[in-house]
Amino acid sequence: MTFSYDNPYATTRHPVFARNMVATSHPLAAQAGLRMLQQGGNAVDAAVASAAAMTICEPVSNGLGSDAFCILWDGQQLHGLNAAGRAPAKWSVDYFRRKYGDDASAPPKRGIDSVTVPGAVAAWVQLNKRFGRLPLADVLAPAIEIAERGYLVPPVVCQKWAAAVPELQSQPGFADAFMPWGRAPQVGELFRFPAAAQALRRIAASRGVAFYGGEIAHAIQRFAAAQGGVIEASDFERYQPEWVEPLSVGYRGYTLHEIGPSGQGIAALMALGILGHFDLGALGAHSVSAKHVQIEAMKLAFADVYRHVAEPSWMAVTPAQMLDESYLKSRARLIRINKAQDFGPGLPRQGGTIYLTAADESGMMVSFIQSNYLGFGSGCVEPGFGISLQNRGHGFSLQGDSPNVVAPGKRPFHTIIPAFLSQDGQPVMSFGVMGAHMQPQGHVQTLVRMLDHGQNPQAACDAPRWRANPDGTLNVEASADPAVVQGLKDRGHRIEALADSYQDFGAGQFIWRLGDPKTEGYIGASDSRRDGLVAGF
């Protein structure tokens, strides 16, 4: 791929070139990963160190109670890791109906009954055990130091922190953990998190056992019981992340890889499979037609994903059926080049998040994502160890005919998705775009800009984005070209411009391999919508 290094978009960022690289949405986390590489660690060590630091540096998006997913190239082959949490053994439709009434359609958005067993710490342990070079204690040391000594809160994190306080300040443990001085920190104020430092030390010393069945798990059980919840230490002890083979689809001579259901990565694969039937390069990167076709492809993909995707054993169709080439071609035929449409699901033939990436000069590349889901997750924070718990349980349904209906030990529909690009069986790019259902849309938009229009990763990242919503409406960034927005309106899209790029349009990190890492290295990009950094040497 030959990129153009012209960047027509307003940005404060430039591409970064290096043989060893870490890209995250907070500079201290990127530097934590870089320290591991400089100490002789590899890209996995860097990714885990950065992920741990991110739980402290960007708590609005993730914490020690997060879930996680990973796709990594170990130098020879691709691996996938699914560390989505599972429902407590005592969860059922009846449990929620008794507590919240027959009209409830899903578990609550906040509070202890939105919390499934967190998987992120298990992901760190598994990655370190299988692929890391350095001891887990060394890898977690930067995060422990940041939590104990504190850090100065940056502008974007500060903004999101303050916005979350009105809704979450009454949740158990939240104010004590995240409202020092009785409010959210202001820009440049020092935030310390000593309870989380304590947890990280116990996790490091026990290689995760303290979290999964040990003293941290028992502390969470006591905390949950005090709030009327039923998650128990035994739920943690049973938990294991799962090594999986990523799903893939070909596009323009490359292959996109995503983690399969119950995550939504298949939406990006389906959309690209549909877009492969259109000549987007001929339409032009900034044309109304190019945007329109991508939006319609994304809407088609989401129609199927929201109907069919759940824990695989609960799905009526298989991922292979959803990605069948003839099926995607039939879906592509539904797109009208001059008219927006509302699509229902097809019938395939029967048969609040942080993202980071790291790469080293040995060729190892890691695509990693973890999240508390909605900002600060459940809002519940176990006080002794500072465990900010996610709210992934809200992703379940309470409708008995849904494939995503809640059940004991089941994984809910998941939004966080790392991505990886290869060509002819060799690694090309580890990347991801944060932001709920914006994530597969961000994957598609940035890949189209790079593969169809030759934009470099930083330009593709900086370009104005659009977001198709489940209700059929379309959001565009305030920086979008007014002529393009009007053109989309003329084709029937119901559009609302939104100014909050962080919350509504996601943020990405990209590392593209330029050739032999020992000589040519990588090009990295970090989204200007967050406080991030590409660090390399």
Is 353 labeled as catalytic in the residue annotation? Answer: yes
Per domain, the residue ranges of the chain are 22-243+364-395, 244-346+416-536
Q: What is the pLDDT of residues 469-499, one digit of tens each?
A: 988 899 999 889 999 999 999 999 999 878 7
pLDDT band at 112 (very low <50, low <70, confident <90, very high): very high
* Neighbour count for residue 251 (Cβ, 10 Å): 21
Q: What is the pTM of this model?
A: 0.95
Answer yes or no: are the C-beta atoms of 65 and 116 closer than 8 Å. Answer: no
List the beta bridge partners of residue 467: 475
In this structure, are strands 466-468 and 426-433 parallel, antiparallel, or unpaired? Answer: unpaired
- Please give the DSSP secondary-structure letter assigned to residue 378: T
Helix (H, G, I), strand (E, B) or coil at 236: helix
Question: Catalytic pick from 24, 116, 255, 353?
Answer: 353
Give the pLDDT mean for 449-458: 96
List the beta bridge partners of residue 95: none
- Asked if the model's pLDDT at residue 522 lies above 70, the reply is yes
- Asked if the model's pLDDT at residue 170 lies above 60, the reply is yes
- Asked if the model's pLDDT at residue 503 lies above 70, the reply is no
Q: What is the pLDDT of residues 263-294, one digit of tens each?
A: 999 999 999 999 999 999 999 999 999 999 99
The CATH code belonging to domain 244-346+416-536 is 3.60.20.40
- Rounded CA-CA distance 251/411 in Å is 30
Whole-number pLDDT of residue 13: 86
- Asked if the model's pLDDT at residue 532 lies above 80, the reply is yes
